[in-house]
């Protein structure tokens, strides 16, 4: 495994980034995870100004502004000691735009902690849309369950806390289709950017059981 490992996971909404991240963290405990979704959920649950603004945008199927996300992720990296050049970490779902990627590179360059691997999860988007109706979530933690392939032990109940699962406001085909369109527009320039830097890898599959072993092999190979 790369030492230190500074890994970025990218993929369309619903492609399984959270599931792959959890499996990587279990396999490689030296990794520290920074999830853009977790960061936003924390602000939303605390009712901060950023959280209130983000909640409104997410419900409408829109994305949080680049400048806001760059600041939030930089703050998380600093808190975790991820800017010292020696720490190993995993970014889940950020950056999503070329502007975010360039802003992140500036921050990392200044600290000598550049990304050394970028992995895009390539999942058929028709399959993603089919999964939406089966997806339920434990909002406080962000844990996601699928009634089709990752059901909770007790129906509609979180495995860890026993609390009820809910449907996210944006977990409907119409809103999700908008999010996929936005992702498809933005990922092209992002992909080209990291290909130029020599860090881009694509891993394809229709489920985390297929995708995860491929991601693990990439990390072990390097």
Q: Which pLDDT tens digit goes with each residue over 72-127?
A: 888 888 888 878 778 889 998 789 889 999 999 998 988 888 899 999 999 999 88
Neighbours of 176 (CB within 10 A): 22
Evaluate whether residue 220 is within a structural domain: no
Evaluate whether residue 112 is within a structural domain: yes
Binding residues for AMP: 36, 41, 62-64, 93-96, 100, 168, 179
Evaluate whether residue 158 is within a structural domain: yes
Tokens representing residue 203 in the block: 């891993």
**Cα 58 vs. chain centroid, distance in angstroms?**
15
Active site residue 168: yes
Annotated catalytic residue: which of 27, 168, 178, 202? 168
pLDDT at 171 over 70: yes
Predicted confidence at residue 1, as pLDDT, reads 66
Distance from C-alpha of 22 to C-alpha of 26, rounded to nearest angstrom? 6
pLDDT at 153 over 90: yes
Predicted confidence at residue 79, as pLDDT, reads 81
Evaluate whether residue 111 is within a structural domain: yes
Q: What mean pLDDT do residues 161-171 have? A: 89
Range of the domain at 140: 6-211
Annotated catalytic residue: which of 6, 23, 96, 143? 96
Annotated catalytic residue: which of 6, 23, 131, 135? 135
Evaluate whether residue 118 is within a structural domain: yes
Q: Which pLDDT tens digit goes with each residue over 203-222?
A: 999 888 899 999 999 998 75
- CATH number where 138 lies: 3.40.50.300
Active site residue 179: yes
Where does the pLDDT of residue 19 fall: very low under 50, low under 70, confident under 90, or very high at 90 and above? confident
Evaluate whether residue 178 is within a structural domain: yes
Decide: 121 and 203 in contact? Cβ < 8 Å. yes
DSSP conformation class of 157: B
Predicted confidence at residue 216, as pLDDT, reads 94
pLDDT at 170 over 80: no
Evaluate whether residue 92 is within a structural domain: yes
Active site residue 96: yes
pLDDT at 2 over 70: no
Decide: 179 and 169 in contact? Cβ < 8 Å. no
C-alpha separations of 191 from 9, 61, 67, 196 in Å? 12, 23, 20, 9
Active site residue 131: no
Evaluate whether residue 29 is within a structural domain: yes
What is the number of domains present in the chain? 1
Q: Which pLDDT tens digit goes with each residue over 112-149?
A: 888 999 999 999 998 888 888 888 999 888 888 888 87
Strand order in the sheet with 200-204: 32-35, 89-92, 6-11, 117-122, 200-204
Where does the pLDDT of residue 61 fall: very low under 50, low under 70, confident under 90, or very high at 90 and above? confident
């Amino acid at each position: 495994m790369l030492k230190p490992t500074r890994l970025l996971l990218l993929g369309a909404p619903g492609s399984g980034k959270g599931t792959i991240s959890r499996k990587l963290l279990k396999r490689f405990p030296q990794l520290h995870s920074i999830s853009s979704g977790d960061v936003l959920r924390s602000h939303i649950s605390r009712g901060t100004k950023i959280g209130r603004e983000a909640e409104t945008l997410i419900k409408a199927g829109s994305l949080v502004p680049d400048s806001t996300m760059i600041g939030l992720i930089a703050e998380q990296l600093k808190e975790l000691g991820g800017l010292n050049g020696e720490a190993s970490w995993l970014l889940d779902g950020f950056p999503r735009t070329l502007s975010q990627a360039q802003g992140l590179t500036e921050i990392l360059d200044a600290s000598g902690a550049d990304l050394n691997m970028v992995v895009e999860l390539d999942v058929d988007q028709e399959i993603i849309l089919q999964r939406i109706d089966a997806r339920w979530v434990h909002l406080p933690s962000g844990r996601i369950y699928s009634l089709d392939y990752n059901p909770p032990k007790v129906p509609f109940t979180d495995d860890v806390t026993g609390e009820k699962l809910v449907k996210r406001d944006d977990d409907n085909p119409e809103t999700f289709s908008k999010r996929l369109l936005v992702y498809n527009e933005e990922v092209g320039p992002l992909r080209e950017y990291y290909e130029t830097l020599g860090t881009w890898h694509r891993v394809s599959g229709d489920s985390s059981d297929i995708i995860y072993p491929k991601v693990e092999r990439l990390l072990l190979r390097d």
